[in-house]
Amino acid sequence: MDDTHADEKKKVLKLGLGIFLVLAAAVAVLYIAVFRKPAPGPAAAKAVEETAKPPAAGTAPATEGSEPLVLPAVGLDQSDPVVREYAKAVSSSLRFGQWLGSKELVRKFVAAVDNIANGLSPKPQVDFWAPEGQLKVVNKPAGTFIDESKYGRYDPAAEVFASLDARAAVRFYRGLRPLIQEAYRDLGYPDTDFSDTLVKAMAELLETPVVERPVKVEKKILSYTMADESLEGLSQAQKQLLRMGPKNVRLIQGKIRELAAALGIPEDKLPRTRVISAGGARS
């Protein structure tokens, strides 16, 4: 395997960390927004601070129950080791563990979600969000289309996301909420509940259509645009997910719904799946 191919593969695999952070946490915060409970009082907070201890080396925290995971008291800028250790309970995938080597996990997650909630690509904050290189296309008698054989580049990322334990992910992200809110204040939102932003980000990605037919594109000066105006009109964040291919879009959106079910969120609170096939759009 040459160095160029190896570097591209590495970036594709790292894509899953951004997807995991955004989607799993978005579901968790939707629970907070819909079924919000009062925050613990000073006494409860003190008890957590005094009794919370890191897990024993090599031991992942328990995942039973639906209550928030009690994390050790730690500052936002010192939170990476705690996040990495407790995240082990979320997936047994070796690739997932490797992705957690990134730094400033909570801050990058918050910035990425804020971008997605506004329809923007999270690439400025998470530079491994997409593989390097230009979009691959194939020329056919009917025109130019996205090369569907290249969707497989994203399979590892989607498969790791599918490996997530929904119950563990829900508990983990509830436990992270104080650090997440602190990072959001530092980003420039001192009076805004991050819950609302996460709900928007979740809806943004779930509204990405599953395109089962070949995607026709048109060559512009420096890039390609989608010939179908309804697809070209999608946000940057939605286009990023769409380019992973219909199989991976289904896999990722299905995991979001599984996480929502683990939280007790009714299906009618979530955007419906929209499918675009050769015969036209359907829900």
Tell me the pLDDT band of 134, cut-offs 50, 70 and 90.
low
- Ranking 7-16, 199-208, 237-246 by mean pLDDT, the lowest is 7-16
Beta-bridged to residue 224, according to DSSP, are 219
For 41, 78, 151, 205, 208, the CA distances from 112, given in Å and listed in that order, are 30, 20, 23, 13, 17
Instruction: Output 124 or 194, whichever has higher pLDDT.
Output: 194
Say what the pLDDT of residue 16 is.
Answer: 47
Q: At 146, which helix (H) or strand (E)?
A: strand 143-146
Instruction: Please state the rounded mean pLDDT for residues 5-9.
Output: 49
Four-point Cα dihedral 118, 119, 125, 128, nearest 10: 160
Tell me the pLDDT band of 32, cut-offs 50, 70 and 90.
very low
Check pLDDT > 80 for residue 36. no
- Taking only the tens place, the pLDDT of each residue in 161-171 is 888 898 888 88
Strand order across the beta sheet in which 216-219 lies = 137-140, 143-146, 216-219, 224-226
Instruction: Please state the rounded mean pLDDT for residues 82-109.
Output: 84
Instruction: Output 52 or 88, whichever has higher pLDDT.
Output: 88
Say what the pLDDT of residue 60 is.
Answer: 38
Provide the residue type at 97 as one letter: G
Strand order across the beta sheet in which 280-282 lies = 210-211, 275-277, 280-282
Beta-bridged to residue 225, according to DSSP, are 218
Instruction: Please state the rounded mean pLDDT for residues 87-102.
Output: 80
Tell me the average pLDDT of the chain. Answer: 76
Check pLDDT > 70 for residue 4. no
Check pLDDT > 60 for residue 256. yes
Domain ranges for the chain:
3-132+151-213+236-282
